[in-house]
Amino acid sequence: MRNRFRPSVIVSVAIVTVLVLTGTVTTGQSPTYKAPRTTDGKPNLNGVWQALNEAYWDIETHPAAPGSVTALGAAGAIPPGPGLVEGGLLPYQPAAAEQKKKNFENRLTLDPEIKCYLPGVPRANYMPYPFQIIQTPKYIMMVYTFARAVRTIYMDDHKEAPADSWMGWSNGRWEGETLVVDTTGFNGQAWFDRAGNFHSDALHVVERFTATSPDHLLYEATIEDKNVFTRPWKISMPIYRRLERNAQIMDFRCVEFAEDLIYGHLRKPSGK
Amino acid sequence: MSMKRAVVFAGVGVLLAAAPLLAHHAFSAEFDVNKPMKLQGTLVKWEMINPHSWFHIDVKGPDGQMIRWLVEGGSPNQLIRLGVTKSTLSSGMELLIEGYLARDGTNKGVGRNFTLADGRRLFLGGSAPGGGAESGPVAK
Amino acid sequence: MNHRFLVVGSGLIVLVALMWSATIPVAGQARAYRAPRTPDGQPDLQGFWTNTTYTPLQRPKEITKEFYTREEALEILKTSAVLESEQTEPGTIPDVHYDFTQFGLDRNQGGLALNLRTSLIFDPPNGQLPPMTAEGQKRTAARAEARKRMGRPTDAVQNQSLSVRCILMDRAGPPMLPGAYNNNYQIVQAPGYVMILVEMIHEPRIIPIDGRAHLPQHVRSLTGNPTGRWEGETLVVETTNFTDKTGFQGSSENMRLTERFTRVAEDRILYQFTIDDPATWTRPWSAELPMQKTIGPIFEHACHEGNRGLYNTLAGARAEDKKAAEDAARKSSSQ
């Protein structure tokens, strides 16, 4: 697998990773790179993309920790990660901090990922699988590998969410080099990661996608939830273009992998 | 009726037999035809979820205490296209629901008919062609 | 009941008038319409479309012609809509349901295009599936046998259909055929790709138009692996690498599907497909139906996440099993 990456990409991935670790990639930085344009003159974000970090385990800065499935041993351990959150930790209200702790303790039964539920936003963006941006003037589609989740970003005809959903209702606009996506209308059932970091249906996410090279996006998001946090907080990370010639979103239809977990206790006992 | 039309109508029966209004799942496996239900209560919330939406209803029990019921309705997606949103129905509104109880014996059922306190049918007004005054609340 | 009839009937006339803006093209007939172009020069298929229809896949035996007259087709539409909206008899199995019309889910309210064809299948010209090969018949019998061995649908989640399990709506295929409701699709086009978002179970079909090869034969999935190309006005999508879990009309996993999307009017796409599966049928067969322009949005159809129906069905069966066991125990102890 590794030999499919060009050496230059490995190098640039390494450099950016170092930059992130040392905190040199700052949010709000004015980009000097100007992306190629689509036919309607907007930065061209089309492509197959993927984040490369440990935030899918825990978006907060975290040390390595044991996993919860003995049989998986080291392969199931929680890898350490610098996290995505500006300042390292989430500003939970006291009751919410308690809830987060409970979520973590009971993550095997509560984490929606385990049940193949739609990942929500921003979680979908840093799961360890590729997603594809299909960009048109009126609609920008983001198709994620996990659970075949889809986001439709409405670039004009902005409306309020007609109803609550897992992936939310996204209105988008261009600010120079940056795609800004404003998402509300969440059902409050998604999590941020496998560590039980969570939000309510009052979640409001404003994401900024800015190309910083032909093969990198800077992803920044401001997250607000008055029911759970004491103040808005920010995350940022680079997102990398999948450069393999056969990069694509393959079918990860995970429902059938979670059915025995969800419905297994309702199976008719055999021998009756 | 001309011969030609008779043939056409004979075809319609076949057409519908060939393409019945199939639901997402066998409702009679989820709900019991032998257990009809009639609920009168107040709407707590309407979950506009798929594959079928769910109405949470508080019904006053015989001893005066409120009992929460879950009642299944249709996919919200077409109603959303027709202009219905999460603010179309407000909590606290009175609903009369006829339907059938779930087989698992919990406080659940399918809502065969949803009627408002004033006797109007729910929703149909704004969406059904030619509907109108006799139904509500309406879309748009 | 009479009043209902009038309401639905009068509404239908308006609906059909709105949708009757294009002549129904016949396969192979020269088409005058030229679709608008995307900035990179592709025919523009973008927008929201519905393929709702009352027309069956195979021609009913009573019908001997290929096309209805427009008058006949309108009559069928009207009658079908009325039949569909009629109330079922309380206390009967079909009545165990919510009322589709109350949720705008009947085909009439969903919007549909008038189709003069008497069947979706136009080749063979008799509108019927071609005869099955001996191998196809054997496989069909083996599948039925395997289903029987699995036990009742309520015995285990895996015994339920893919649709009920919210894995894939069987009708969504591909090929994309309509069911009762939410037969909606959004098409978007970006350089190198056409994407079709199928409303039911939020199924994204990403079709690369860059000449790439299909995935290796052993990498199979329920919806197969599509590649696309333009042939003049028409988007041609070839899909292979299916599994044997879908079995479209009895097909094998080696079915080769060719779909053709042609915009034949501002508000209409002609959708045609050909199934080539020599392991199942003695010859390839083809069908077509219109996709009519409709309105958005396509709201998230998070079917698995909200699948209480499946849970209730299985839980209901176990509750009834338990009661039956208790009844039996009581009976034997009282004897």
Ordered DSSP codes for A182-239: EEE-B-S--BSSTT--B--TT-EEEEEEEEEETTEEEEEEEEE-TTTBSS-EEEEEEE
- Say if residue C174 is preceded by a cis peptide, omega within 30 of 0: yes
Q: Is the pLDDT of residue B26 over 90?
A: no
Q: Is the pLDDT of residue C1 over 60?
A: no
B partners (3+ CB pairs within 8 A) are: A, C
* Confidence at residue C280, expressed as pLDDT on a 0 to 100 scale: 98
More confident residue, B16 or A244: A244
Strand-pairing partners, residue C117, are C67
Above pLDDT 90, what percent of chain B?
60
* Confidence at residue B82, expressed as pLDDT on a 0 to 100 scale: 86
Above pLDDT 70, what percent of chain C?
90
B129–C108: do the CB atoms touch at under 8 Å?
yes
The verdict on A1 touching B (C-beta cutoff 8 Å) is no
Does residue A217 contact residue A16 with C-beta atoms inside 8 Å? no
| CA-based radius of gyration for chain A | 19
Q: What is the pLDDT of residues C248-278, one digit of tens each?
A: 999 999 999 999 999 999 999 999 999 999 9
Looking at the complex, report in whole angstroms how far the Cα of residue C220 sits from the nearest Cα belonging to chain B.
Answer: 25
Per-residue pLDDT averaged across C45-67, rounded? 95
Looking at the complex, report in whole angstroms how far the Cα of residue B86 sits from the nearest Cα belonging to chain C.
Answer: 13
A166–C302: do the CB atoms touch at under 8 Å?
yes
Give CA–CA dist C263/C222, Å, rounded: 27
Min mean pLDDT across C3-17, C37-51, C174-188 is at: C3-17
The verdict on A251 touching B (C-beta cutoff 8 Å) is no
* Confidence at residue A16, expressed as pLDDT on a 0 to 100 scale: 43
* Confidence at residue A6, expressed as pLDDT on a 0 to 100 scale: 46
* Confidence at residue C31, expressed as pLDDT on a 0 to 100 scale: 60
Looking at the complex, report in whole angstroms how far the Cα of residue A15 sits from the nearest Cα belonging to chain C.
Answer: 31
Per-residue pLDDT averaged across C117-145, rounded? 97
The verdict on B44 touching A (C-beta cutoff 8 Å) is no
Per-residue pLDDT averaged across A18-28, rounded? 43
Looking at the complex, report in whole angstroms how far the Cα of residue C189 sits from the nearest Cα belonging to chain A.
Answer: 7
Looking at the complex, report in whole angstroms how far the Cα of residue A209 sits from the nearest Cα belonging to chain C.
Answer: 18
C157–A143: do the CB atoms touch at under 8 Å?
no
Which of B9, B22, B27, B30 would you mutate first to test chain C, the one with the most C CBs within 10 A?
Answer: B30
Give CA–CA dist C210/C225, Å, rounded: 14
CB atoms within 10 A of CB A182: 17
Give CA–CA dist A213/A45, Å, rounded: 11
Contact residues on chain B for A164, CB-CB shorter than 8 A = 48, 86
- Which candidate, B97, B96, B93, B74, places its Cα nearest to that of B137? B93
Min mean pLDDT across A178-182, A201-205, C1-5, C56-60 is at: C1-5
**Paired sense of beta strands C47-50 and C184-190, if any:** antiparallel
CB atoms within 10 A of CB C120: 24
* Confidence at residue C334, expressed as pLDDT on a 0 to 100 scale: 81
Q: What is the mean pLDDT of chain C?
A: 89
B76–A163: do the CB atoms touch at under 8 Å?
yes
CB atoms within 10 A of CB C13: 14
Q: Which structure tokens are listed for B72?
A: 């299944």
B123–C102: do the CB atoms touch at under 8 Å?
yes
* Confidence at residue B24, expressed as pLDDT on a 0 to 100 scale: 57
Q: Is the pLDDT of residue B20 over 50?
A: no
* Confidence at residue B123, expressed as pLDDT on a 0 to 100 scale: 80
Which positions ≥6 away from A19 have C-beta within 8 Å?
A25
Tell me, what DSSP letter sits at residue A52? -
Q: Is the pLDDT of residue C6 over 80?
A: no
- Which candidate, A163, A150, C106, places its Cα nearest to that of B80? A163
The verdict on B84 touching A (C-beta cutoff 8 Å) is yes
Q: Is the pLDDT of residue A113 over 90?
A: yes
A2-266 CATH fold: Lipocalin (2.40.128)
Give CA–CA dist B73/B55, Å, rounded: 7
C14–B114: do the CB atoms touch at under 8 Å?
no
Which positions ≥6 away from B3 have C-beta within 8 Å?
none
Contact residues on chain C for A189, CB-CB shorter than 8 A = 305
* Confidence at residue A51, expressed as pLDDT on a 0 to 100 scale: 98
* Confidence at residue A145, expressed as pLDDT on a 0 to 100 scale: 98
C221–A134: do the CB atoms touch at under 8 Å?
no
CA angle A33, A35, A41 (to 5 degrees): 135
The DSSP-derived string for B31-85 is EEEEEEEEEEEEEEEEE--SSS-EEEEEEE-TTS-EEEEEEE---SHHHHHTT--
CB atoms within 10 A of CB B129: 16
Does residue C155 contact residue C317 with C-beta atoms inside 8 Å? yes
C299–A162: do the CB atoms touch at under 8 Å?
yes
Q: How confident is the model at residue C82 (pLDDT cuts 50, 70, 90)?
A: confident
Min mean pLDDT across A9-23, C39-53, C179-193, C253-267 is at: A9-23
The DSSP-derived string for A258-271 is HHHHHHGGGSPPTT
* Confidence at residue C109, expressed as pLDDT on a 0 to 100 scale: 82
Q: Is the pLDDT of residue A98 over 50?
A: yes
Does residue B105 contact residue B37 with C-beta atoms inside 8 Å? no
**Paired sense of beta strands B121-122 and B135-136, if any:** parallel
Q: Is the pLDDT of residue C17 over 80?
A: no
Per-residue pLDDT averaged across A191-219, rounded? 98
Per-residue pLDDT averaged across A61-67, rounded? 97
Per-residue pLDDT averaged across C47-51, rounded? 96
C partners (3+ CB pairs within 8 A) are: A, B
Contact residues on chain C for A117, CB-CB shorter than 8 A = 302, 304-305
CB atoms within 10 A of CB A1: 5
Q: Is the pLDDT of residue C53 over 60?
A: yes
Give CA–CA dist C157/A264, Å, rounded: 8
Per-residue pLDDT averaged across C162-179, rounded? 93
- Which candidate, C293, C331, C297, C270, places its Cα nearest to that of C117? C270
* Confidence at residue B124, expressed as pLDDT on a 0 to 100 scale: 61
The verdict on B139 touching A (C-beta cutoff 8 Å) is no
Looking at the complex, report in whole angstroms how far the Cα of residue A235 sits from the nearest Cα belonging to chain C.
Answer: 26
Q: What is the pLDDT of residues A25-57, one digit of tens each?
A: 444 445 589 999 999 999 999 999 999 999 999
Tell me, what DSSP letter sits at residue C290? E
Contact residues on chain C for B11, CB-CB shorter than 8 A = 60, 62-63, 76, 118
Closest-CA residue of chain A to B53: A163
Which of C99, C114, C115, C165 would you mutate first to test chain B, the one with the most B CBs within 10 A?
Answer: C99
* Confidence at residue A271, expressed as pLDDT on a 0 to 100 scale: 62
Q: Is the pLDDT of residue C11 over 60?
A: no
A139–C186: do the CB atoms touch at under 8 Å?
yes
The verdict on C153 touching B (C-beta cutoff 8 Å) is yes
- Which candidate, C113, C119, C66, places its Cα nearest to that of B15? C119
Give CA–CA dist C29/C67, Å, rounded: 15
Q: How confident is the model at residue C242 (pLDDT cuts 50, 70, 90)?
A: very high
C297–A268: do the CB atoms touch at under 8 Å?
no
More confident residue, C77 or C281: C281
Q: What is the pLDDT of residues C84-110, one digit of tens each?
A: 888 889 999 999 999 888 998 988 887
Q: How confident is the model at residue B25 (pLDDT cuts 50, 70, 90)?
A: low
Give me the residue label for tokens 């309407």: B46
Residues 187..206 of A with a Cβ closer than 8 Å to B: which?
A: 187
* Confidence at residue C107, expressed as pLDDT on a 0 to 100 scale: 85
Per-residue pLDDT averaged across A233-252, rounded? 97
Its sign, for the CA torsion A171, A174, A179, A182, is: negative
Number of residue pairs across A and B with CB atoms under 8 Å?
Answer: 15
Per-residue pLDDT averaged across A95-119, rounded? 97
Q: Which structure tokens are listed for A26?
A: 């700052």
Q: Which structure tokens are listed for B7?
A: 């043939």
Per-residue pLDDT averaged across C198-215, rounded? 96
Above pLDDT 70, what percent of chain A?
88
Q: Is the pLDDT of residue A24 over 90?
A: no
The verdict on B102 touching A (C-beta cutoff 8 Å) is no
